[in-house]
Amino acid sequence: MLKLKKQKTEVYALGQHISMSPHKARRVIDQIRGRSYEETLMILELMPYRACYPIFKLVYSAAANASYNLGSNETNLIISKAEVNEGTTVKKLKPRARGRSYPIKRSTCHISIVVEDISLDKYIEVDD
């Protein structure tokens, strides 16, 4: 009897505690979600935002994970999921006039990029 087993076609890369506002990172992530790997790299190199560089590194890392773990080619990869979550907030105090202090809140974010190989079949046959 032949059984169908779901084959793993997705790999991910996770960047945590990136010192950037989640709102600013989402502005870039929304542009690349669902696009191909090569198109994503071109978009990220040409966009003028500071959030592009860490996202570029994560996309590149996810593609390297896909080629190492699945043996897939970069031309077959698409960005299937990309999300930005809010991280911890670093709180500091800045000295001000007359002995007062002013709070500074540095927000961080967690970015996860999931790439999927579209050339691999979703199911493989397994003999039991």
Reported as a single tens digit per residue, the pLDDT across 17-61 is 999 999 999 999 999 999 999 999 999 999 999 999 999 999 999
Helices of type H across the chain: 22-32, 37-46, 52-69
Give residue 70's pLDDT band: very low, low, confident or very high (50, 70, 90).
confident
The CA distance from 121 to 29, in Å, is: 27
pTM: 0.83
Query: What b-and-e string marks burial along 33-68, b requiring 16 or more CB atoms within 10 Å of the CB?
Result: eebbbeebbebbeebeeebbebbbbbbbbbbebbee
What's the DSSP call for residue 36? B
Longest Cα–Cα distance of the chain, Å, equals 82
Helix (H, G, I), strand (E, B) or coil at 116: strand
Reported as a single tens digit per residue, the pLDDT across 114-126 is 999 888 766 666 6
Which pLDDT score is estimated for 122?
66
CATH architecture of 10-121: Alpha-Beta Complex (3.90)
pLDDT reading at 8 higher than 90: no
